[in-house]
Amino acid sequence: MKKVLSLVLALALVLGCMSIAGAEAPKTKLVVWSFTNELQGMIEKYYAPNHPEIEFEFQIYPTDGSAYETKVDNTLGVPDAAVSEEAPDIFTLEAAFVKHYVESDFTGNLKDIGFTDDELAVAFPVMAQIGQNSNGIQKGLSWQSTPGVLMYRASLAEKYLGVKSPEEMQEKVKDWDTFLETAEELKTASEGACKMVCGSGDIWNAYQYQRSQGWVVDGKLNIDDELLDFEELCKTLEQDDLTQKAGAWGETWFAGMRGEIETLCYFLPTWGLHYTLKPNCVAGWDAENPDSEENIKNATENGTYGDWRLTDGPVAYSWGGTWMGINAAKAATADDTKKAAMHDLIKFFTLDDDFLTQYAADSGDFVGSAKAVETILANGGTPNPFLGGQDHYAIFAKAAALANGSLMSEYDSTINDLWDKFVTTPYTKGEVESVDDAIAEFKNQVKSVITTIDVD
């Protein structure tokens, strides 16, 4: 028995050596860094099987705190480390910090590895714009696109507003003035029981895309006039008792999704529909078997499954997303084979029509290429039972085409946070005399934490 085993082992060893010796060309090695295993899963499923000539090495650092950013900065910020074996060739970037990296020298120009203007043209403008630096150089591309729309409960809209279709609802929320009028109408009709929206934070995600300029213009803090209108809108909503007066991601927010309290509208993007609204439409949603008959029956009878509809809302916006970028230092020293491999990989995941169509069908994700979205719509779209049979792809496609991605700056997450904390919250709750007082404190706060931009 032992002899047989040793013979088998020896044979395996010889065969193993032979197969290594037999490989014709050395494999091209690509190091991919990410903060979730999403991209790794996609590469292993859709790409690696057809590309045996490429050897992949994956590193995953979660975004908790700023672990991922720290790791990237410590590697790409040190010249020797940036070109080392372990350093990434390709790394992913999320919405919170994508701007920071495309503005830095860490990420390389995608055209340097062979992308052409024609190829880049099929990406949704909003996602492409966010992946560009301020000089318009394309440094990041996304396989998904995260347009946002207005999601509302059809039963409440019909009961209080007499609205029977998403088109009629759109008339009621076509701009922010109408939105406010509808909120007042809703209050009267429901005697205050039903609120238009959970709180001003919900509106912010959409409203910030109403601006004509972003937070930083020519290295200076810029407060767009639209933001003052936003403050007045939120103050009226708050003072007239038209919202639930609560923040997103809290108990009140989720209670409205489950229908325990009546909140008519939510501003959510693509992922918000699948990963936030749907699993929270009923208490005791079965995350293990979401499509089981029992679960859907429970969600329909005791929750709000099937009651939601989508409509464009007052403004097209985008919220979230993941981009793929390349390590500039390593790309500069890569040979043509490697550059071609990087080009092919990024192109496959972000722009390839066949792959994205397939991926959308498999995952339900909203993809980043306008052309692939057209194909999906031409093939009959995606009727969604959660939305009472409404096709979410058609509505998202409209928002994705319209949203303005040029507004985003690398300091957005910090400045948005400060604006909410020092202007919107105190002003709408009537804690400060005037909006100007609040803005003065806001400017101080920005000046204190961001020393690289000018603040008057």
165: exposed, middle or buried (C-beta count within 10 Å: 0-12, 13-18, 19+)? middle
Non-local (6+) Cβ contacts of 260 within 8 A are none
With binding defined as CB under 8 A, does residue 240 bind other proteins?
no
CA distances to 194, 286, 304, 306, 354 from 300, in Å: 20, 13, 6, 6, 35
Residue labelled with tokens 């931009």 = 453
With binding defined as CB under 8 A, does residue 333 bind other proteins?
no
With binding defined as CB under 8 A, does residue 93 bind other proteins?
no
Whole-number minimum distance, CB 223 to other proteins, in Å?
Answer: 17
By beta-carbon proximity to other proteins, the closer residue of 166 and 256 is 256
Q: State in Å, rounded, how far the first CA of the chain is from the last one.
A: 85
Whole-number minimum distance, CB 137 to other proteins, in Å?
Answer: 18
Binding marks (x or -) toward other proteins, 38..67, rule CB under 8 A? ----------------------------x-
Whole-number minimum distance, CB 273 to other proteins, in Å?
Answer: 24
Number of residues that bind other proteins (CB under 8 A): 35
With binding defined as CB under 8 A, does residue 450 bind other proteins?
yes
Query: Are 372 and 360 in contact, with CB atoms under 8 Å apart?
Result: yes
Residues 105 to 124 in contact with other proteins, rule: CB under 8 A: 105
With binding defined as CB under 8 A, does residue 250 bind other proteins?
yes
Among 30, 54, 69, 88, binds other proteins (CB under 8 A): 69
Q: Phi first, then psi: give them for residue 241, nearest 5 degrees.
A: 65, 40
Among 73, 229, 344, 353, binds other proteins (CB under 8 A): 73
By beta-carbon proximity to other proteins, the closer residue of 151 and 446 is 446
Whole-number minimum distance, CB 326 to other proteins, in Å?
Answer: 18
35: exposed, middle or buried (C-beta count within 10 Å: 0-12, 13-18, 19+)? buried
CA distance 98 to 133: 10
Q: Is 330 helix (H, G, I), strand (E, B) or coil?
A: helix
Residue at 81: amino acid letter: A
List, in sequence order, every residue forming a beta bridge with 326; answer none if it has no partner. 90
By beta-carbon proximity to other proteins, the closer residue of 355 and 427 is 427
With binding defined as CB under 8 A, does residue 245 bind other proteins?
yes
Residues 390 to 449 in contact with other proteins, rule: CB under 8 A: 411, 413-414, 417, 421-422, 425-426, 429, 431, 441, 444, 446-449
By beta-carbon proximity to other proteins, the closer residue of 106 and 305 is 106
With binding defined as CB under 8 A, does residue 248 bind other proteins?
no
Among 77, 162, 192, 389, binds other proteins (CB under 8 A): 77
By beta-carbon proximity to other proteins, the closer residue of 119 and 412 is 412
| Radius of gyration for the chain, computed over Cα atoms and rounded to the nearest angstrom | 25
Query: Are 252 and 206 in contact, with CB atoms under 8 Å apart?
Result: no
Q: Segment near other proteins (CB under 8 A), from 134-142, 229-237, 245-253, 284-292?
A: 245-253
CB atoms within 10 A of CB 101: 23
With binding defined as CB under 8 A, does residue 252 bind other proteins?
yes
By beta-carbon proximity to other proteins, the closer residue of 101 and 124 is 101
Q: Phi first, then psi: give them for residue 195, nearest 5 degrees.
A: -105, 150
With binding defined as CB under 8 A, does residue 94 bind other proteins?
no
Buried b (16+ CB within 10 A) or exposed e, 217-231: eeeebebbebbeebb
DSSP letter at 152? E
With binding defined as CB under 8 A, does residue 261 bind other proteins?
yes
CA distance 90 to 342: 8
Q: What is the contact surface with other proteins in residues (CB under 8 A)?
A: 66, 69, 73, 77-78, 104-105, 244-246, 250-252, 255, 261, 411, 413-414, 417, 421-422, 425-426, 429, 431, 441, 444, 446-453
